Amino acid sequence: MSATVTAPGGRPVSSRTAERVSVRPVTFVRVLRSEWIKFWTLRSTWWTLGATVVLMVGLALLFAMAISAIPADDTAAQEGMAAGGVVGPTIVTLGSEFAQLVVAVLGALVVTGEFSTGMIRSTFAAIPGRISALWAKLVVLLAVTAVVSAVGVALAYVATAGMLDDLGLPVDFGDADQVRALVGAVLYLMAVAAFSLGVGALLRHTAASIGVLMAVFFVLPIVFQIIVAASGADWAVDVNAYLPSVAGEQIMSGGPTQEGRLEPWTGFSVLAGYTAALLAAAAVSLKTRDA
């Protein structure tokens, strides 16, 4: 014998039919697939990724052309480049220092976009644990950033290889430091993306998140460079070395470590530590605060 129950649309169905209706469990793979689809439906995704590649390639090419225009007898310029540790990977990865600003915007928008539209409520309703949504966003963001930045580095190398050879600054793929600098550009942009995702998840506001990220990755380094140049104060040198961008960018250094800067892997570890702390705080915030 079967009883009659009412379906959500008001249509009566037998209890046996209702028993056969199964609810698909929310697994991380399904959450990941959902975040992947949402990521590519955002218009901002396409223009930020395109701008990232354009900046990486265009600025590397412009820098190489500018150096090529320096007269061979300009000893001051040549000595300045040598003192600054300019090598082939320095030129190839130069665009990454500017592309990071675009990547930071993308990282923030991945999460703040949902808060601004209210879509985050639907996401949290479908994913009761909430935290898995954050990790899925992180995985998608890191995967895409890794691929796009790797493409950017490769194209920047192809675009500048001829000029670098003429300048006597070819990329030496047999040099572990130079290879690390090229790979480091990819790692650095991935860290910036994750850092920005953490900021966005904490602030939940697009303009505020972008403002904070511009201050951290662009304004503060300039301010402390001015302070260091003007005063040479030890405290300013130390603070500057541990700023997220200054520390993290050391992973892209292919030459000797400059005075007042951290070693490449030490600097990247500092940025990774900041990023991990932000993501942990973001996870707690998503778990405890209302959407």
**Of the candidates 107, 91, 4, which has an alpha carbon nearest to the alpha carbon of residue 56?**
91
* C-alpha pair distances (Å), 148 with each of 43, 50, 51, 133, 153: 16, 9, 10, 23, 9
**pLDDT over 70 percentage in the chain:** 86
pLDDT in tens, 265-276: 999 999 999 999
Is the separation of the CB atoms in 263 and 180 below 8 Å?
no
Where in the chain are the domains? 27-288
Return left, alpha or beta for 78; rule: phi > 0 is left, psi -120 to 50 is alpha, else beta.
alpha
Mean pLDDT within 56-76:
84
Contact 197, 108 (CB under 8 A): yes
Residue 5 has pLDDT above 70, yes or no: no
Compute the average pLDDT of residues 199-221: 96
Using a 10 angstrom Cβ sphere, with 0-12 exposed, 13-18 middle and 19 or more buried, the burial of residue 98 is: middle
| pLDDT tens for each residue of 229-248 | 998 889 999 999 999 999 99
The Cα–Cα gap between 31 and 33 comes to 5
pTM: 0.87
pLDDT tens-digit readout, 159-184: 999 999 988 889 999 999 999 999 99
Q: What is the model's pLDDT at position 18?
A: 45
pLDDT tops 80 at residue 128: no
